[in-house]
Amino acid sequence: MSGSQKINRSAIQIQAEVLSNKKVGPYHHMVFAVDKMAASCKPGNFVAISVGGGQSSLILRRAFAIYRANDKGPMGGSIELVVAPHGQGSQWLCAQNVGEFVDIVGPLGTSFGVPSSNANTLLVGGGYGSAPLFALAEVLKNRGCRVDMVLGASTASKIYAPLEGKRSVSSLTLTTDDGSTGIHGQISEAIPRLIRENSIEVIYSCGPMGMLAAVSKIAIEFDIPHQCAVEEAMACGVGVCMTCVVPVKDDDQIKMTRTCIDGPVMDGAKIIWDRKIVMDALHP
């Protein structure tokens, strides 16, 4: 596509050694040695990983949000991912042992925009979608922002909230669909109160598309900017396959926009969340 101003020019392709692989509840926390790639990773960026080994019938890369990046460490630069082993590709990745190498392309995509002055921010994470929000919380706190966080999942074990991640957060609210921890209900039900009580000025979110749609609706009602990291199935992660698009308002038209180049972090107010509108327009 033309005018691809947003291509993440710091992306490189490397063979990265697995430094750590630990099971955390239903997820795997994995650390990879990525050398100088780490220095160019920003909160919201993702990596695309080749899965299955050389002879695999799985031919497409898998995209994973970066949980955190450390550009200085005893092993050089490293990145951390939180992986949910729910498909063949992520299961393969979670089965990789320390010392093995995987093919990683990154960092890819856009990152969360940070306010130029201190602001009251609300970070909303669904399931393991909370992962990239902790690095963002740190950046925001260092900018002098107030950071409130709300994390939701279907059940308590699926909330990803490690101890060290909570340090940058002023308040943490949990919600579960089954009431096993925190507030019993959907994450979106907890947001209006948090916006009012903490005079929220910016919302950041990451998680399943249904949750992002609900958060977008609330952000529009309260007239608050909302940056969401979307999750659409990708084949390449680098902008050439055109499969990972989301419908974005473009005057009165629909523009199918690549989430690997113009996302994953996008303006929630510009995305057309109502699938019926898109289907009626594109598949009459």
Partner 1 sequence: MSSLDFSTKIGSRRFSNPIFTASGCASSGQELSQFFPISEIGAVVTKSIMTKPRTGRATPRMAETPSGMLNSIGLQGPGIDAFLENDIPWLLANSAKVIVSIAGETVDEYGVLARKLRAVSGVSAVEVNISCPNVENRGQVFACHPESAVAVIESVRRNIGGELPIVAKLSPDVTNIVEIAQSVINVGVDGLALINTLLGMVIDTNTMKPKLAGKTGGLSGPAIRPVAVRAIYQVHQAFPQTPIVGMGGVSNGRDAFEMVLAGASAVSVGTATFGNPSAAMQIKDELSNLLLEKGFNDFRDAIGFAHRGV
Binding site for partner 1 (CB under 8 A): 1-4, 7, 9, 11-13, 50, 57-61, 103, 105, 232-236, 238-247, 253-256, 261, 275, 278-279, 281-283
Is the Cβ of residue 1 or residue 220 nearer to partner 1 in the bound state?
Answer: 1
Shortest distance (Å) from residue 247 CB to partner 1: 7
Q: How many CB atoms lie within 10 A of CB 180?
A: 15
Q: How many CB atoms lie within 10 A of CB 2?
A: 3
Shortest distance (Å) from residue 64 CB to partner 1: 15
Is the Cβ of residue 237 or residue 268 nearer to partner 1 in the bound state?
Answer: 237
Handedness of CA 244, 272, 279, 188 (dihedral sign): positive
CB proximity list for 261: less than 8 A, separation 6 or greater: 4, 6, 7, 8, 109, 239
Is the Cβ of residue 14 or residue 33 nearer to partner 1 in the bound state?
Answer: 14
Is the Cβ of residue 22 or residue 101 nearer to partner 1 in the bound state?
Answer: 101
Shortest distance (Å) from residue 61 CB to partner 1: 6
User: How large is the angle between the packed helices 187-197 and 209-222, nearest 10 degrees?
Assistant: 30
Is the Cβ of residue 4 or residue 118 nearer to partner 1 in the bound state?
Answer: 4
Shortest distance (Å) from residue 254 CB to partner 1: 6
Which residues partner with 203 through β-bridges?
Answer: 122, 226
Shortest distance (Å) from residue 280 CB to partner 1: 10
Q: How far is CA 171 from CA 120, 183, 188, 191, 197, in A?
A: 12, 14, 17, 13, 11
